[in-house]
Each structure stands twice: as structure tokens, then as C-alpha cells.
Amino acid sequence: MKLDYHIVKSAVNAFFGLFIGRKTRPTFFTISETYPALDQVTRAYPTIQKEFDKLIREWNELPQYHEVDPGERNISATTPRRWNVFMLEVMGHRPAQNRACCPETCRALEQVPNMIQAFFSILDPGKSVPEHEGPYLGYLRYHLGVRVPAQNPPKLVVNRQDYVWREGEAVLFDDSWPHSVVNTSKELRAVLIVDVRRPMPFFADLCNRFITDVVARHTYGRSVARKAEAFASARNAQRHVAAA
């Protein structure tokens, strides 16, 4: 009998909720206290921004989020304009062609233990994201502002609390709370997203590692990485044809 994904997800989240205070868990976290290794990524911001700017100049079009992860279609494709992503790591899979474009960014990410995935998230001017919840209590999400409009910057709303992105500044939050993006800006917004395993007691952490490193790695992770690689290969093939 095939297990229902939603039943399994609810059971896993209920289990983790016993250890983190399901209804009282924080929304935002202090990076230096919770995941100090992420501060090294923040300090690498000038290099990360430089690599991102080169990437965005050279790639005419990046995949939309739902093109590499169809499960995100309801939040990626249901509002006007594009939400593009550029995957660097997902559940232990490392899309080589993408990583070759951002070697220093990847070097900074290698200093982060217990990383689940990392990618650039790029919103077109005026692209908002409807309210949704991350599916899983086993991770926390880090955002580093890479390119953020100085005028009328977009904001992240998590659990009814606002956070306004700033270039070179970072935030760590629990995206399993309801959250959305309000964006009426006239410029592109780009952040580097890094998901890390949530700190939990030994037994809960062991279960979490099994889910992320074994189950999700060979299902979700493999699927998303393959789509990211296929997009990069198609893009590079088009470049070779154009140059011939």
C-alpha cells in the first residue's frame, strides 16, 4: 500500500513538534546564536554579489521555480511575472554546471554544516508570492539580500511579522509558519537562500538526518537536481549553437 504524503508529513511534523514547541516555536532566530556558521556566508556577501551580477548578465533566462520543483507551482506561477531560481545544492546533489558559475559562493557555502539546499531566488519587479507554509519542521531558512531595490524594497511577512530585505544583510527564520512576499518594487530582488537542519535533541535529529539524507535525497533532491542540470545543459547547448 502506498503511503499518503500528507499523512506522513503530518505525522513527522507532529513528532518534531514535541521537541521544538509546535505552537510556541520562534519565527525568527539570531544567526550568531543558532547557526553561527551562516555568518561566514553573510561576510562573503561582496563576492557573492559579484558572482550573482555576472551570472544574471550572462544567463538570458533562468528557470522559474516551478520548472525545477513542480510542487511550487501554486506559489510560483499563480501571480504575474517570474520567480526564477538558480540551484547550487539540493539534498547533497550539486548541479555542476550551475556551481561552475559561482565557485566562490559555493566555497562559502561549504563552511556551513548540516546544509539541506542552497539557491539564488530572484523575483521580477513587482512579483509577489502568496501566503504559504513550508512543508517540513526539520529545517530553518536563511536569506542573504544580494540585490534589493533601495526604493520601496519588498518585504517578507512571516507569521504576521514583517522583515524588509537589505543588501548584505541576512535573516534566519522558520518558514513552516505561514509567510508571503509583498513586492511592488520596480527592480529585481535577489536573495541567496540556504536551508539548514533545525537543531533538535539527538533522537529527533537522527530521524531528521534519515529523512533529509536518505529519503528526500533520493526523491525530491534527485528530481530537482536533474531538472536544474537539464536546464543548464539546454542553455549551454543554445550558446554553442549561437556561437557556431
Residue-level pLDDT, tens digit, the chain, 244 residues: 344 567 878 999 999 999 999 999 999 999 999 999 999 999 999 999 999 999 999 887 899 999 999 999 999 998 889 999 999 999 999 999 999 999 999 999 999 999 999 999 999 999 999 999 998 999 999 999 999 999 999 999 999 999 999 999 999 999 999 999 999 999 999 999 999 999 999 999 999 999 999 999 999 999 999 999 999 999 888 776 666 5
**Under DSSP, is residue 106 helix (H, G, I), strand (E, B) or coil?**
helix
Task: Identify whether the C-beta of residue 208 lies closer than 8 Å to the C-beta of residue 64.
Answer: no
The sheet that has 115-123: what strands, in order across it? Answer: 28-29, 170-173, 139-147, 189-197, 115-123, 83-90
Quick one: CA dihedral 224, 195, 73, 137, positive or negative? positive
Instruction: Return the pLDDT at 60.
Output: 77
If we measure between CA atoms, which residue out of 200, 141, 196 comes closest to residue 16? Answer: 200
What residues are paired with 85 via a beta bridge? 121
CA-to-CA distance for 134 and 197, rounded, in angstroms?
14
pTM for the model stands at 0.95
Instruction: Return the pLDDT at 2.
Output: 42
Instruction: Return the pLDDT at 86.
Output: 98
| In the block, residue with C-alpha cell 530582488 | 189
Instruction: Return the pLDDT at 210.
Output: 96
Instruction: Return the pLDDT at 4.
Output: 58
Instruction: Return the pLDDT at 233.
Output: 94
Task: Identify whether the C-beta of residue 55 lies closer than 8 Å to the C-beta of residue 102.
Answer: yes
CA-to-CA distance for 123 and 143, rounded, in angstroms?
14
Domains and CATH numbers, the chain: 24-235 (2.60.120.330)
Q: Is 156 exposed, middle or buried (0-12, 13-18, 19+ CB in 10 A)?
A: buried
